[in-house]
Amino acid sequence: MNDIDPRITGVILAGGQGSRMNHQDKPLLDLGGKAIVSHIIENAGGQVSRLLLNVNRNPDKYAPFGLPVIGDYRQGHAGPLVGVLSAMKWCQQHDRGTAFIASFPGDVPWFPDDIVQQLCAALLSSGSETAWIRNDGQVQPLFALWSMELANKLDAALQASVYSPMQFLLTTRHAMLEINGAPDSNFLNINNPNDLEKARRLSTTIHS
């Protein structure tokens, strides 16, 4: 079991519009007999002191998962950055001991069970404000660790219509965590029906 840093709160960014999945709530789609978000909760929950769910529609459908469900701090589908800011705003009110937000995309069911620990080590050793992952050359900016001290800067960026996670991350003191040779299932992003079918095949052979 990994040591859990009590200063880290996690947020699952489940606010996407699912435009390539017939506008369904991707985190709620079935994968191996349970919702995609259930896989994320099972893994992420053991890596952070507290886990939040950020959604911007159908919050009642997420209530059964037993986590605090937070809406977007800013309206208008401004993308995942507003989900990170929403988690920061929530912690400012409810958990002032939080120093970092660990973000997890709501459509990636499988990832290393020590990813937060690795991100934290990369951030602290480099004196950075953010850290994110590059897996076999593919940048994964939503698997990231964000200093709570960035809340005002992130708020200002969103007001200036900066919605790209990478665009914002590159304005911070940042570290990139290289991960190579992970299993095929790790970091599989379920964007469309073909991705979901691939994940279901992997689920029966690897995660059954």
User: Could you tell me which residues are beta bridge partners of residue 132?
Assistant: 144, 176
Residues 6+ apart with CB under 8 A from 102: 8, 9, 10, 11, 44, 47, 48, 116, 119, 144, 145, 146
- Rounded to whole angstroms, the maximal C-alpha distance in the chain is 46
Q: Which position has the token pair 């069911």?
A: 109
Whether the per-residue pLDDT at 117 is higher than 50: the answer is: yes
Within-domain flag for 2: no
Within-domain flag for 3: no
**What distance in Å separates the CA atoms of residue 56 and residue 121, rounded to the nearest whole number?**
31
Q: What is the mean pLDDT of the chain?
A: 91
Say what the pLDDT of residue 208 is.
Answer: 47
| Of the listed ranges 76-90, 119-133, 149-163, the one predicted with least confidence | 76-90
Decide if 54 contacts 12 (C-beta within 8 A). yes
Whether the per-residue pLDDT at 194 is higher than 60: the answer is: yes
Interval 136-140 mean pLDDT: 92
Query: What confidence tens digit (pLDDT) does each residue in 24-62 have?
Result: 789 999 999 999 999 999 999 999 999 999 998 889 999
Interval 3-14 mean pLDDT: 93
Interval 100-128 mean pLDDT: 96
Q: How many domains would you assign to the chain?
A: 1
Amino acid found at 194: N
Three-state SS string across 16-57, please? Answer: CCCHHHCCCCHHHCEECCEEHHHHHHHHHCCCCCEEEEECCC
Q: Please report, for the domain that includes residue 195, its CATH number.
A: 3.90.550.10
Within-domain flag for 124: yes
Within-domain flag for 1: no
Interval 146-158 mean pLDDT: 97
DSSP secondary structure string for all residues of 120-142: HHHHHHHT-SEEEEEETTEEEEE
Q: At what angle do helices 151-159 and 80-94 cross, to 10 degrees?
A: 140
Q: What is the pTM of this model?
A: 0.93
Say what the pLDDT of residue 74 is.
Answer: 74
First-residue to last-residue Cα distance in the chain: 21
At 184, the pLDDT band (50, 70, 90 cuts) reads confident
Say what the pLDDT of residue 77 is.
Answer: 65
User: Domain range spanning residue 183?
Assistant: 8-205
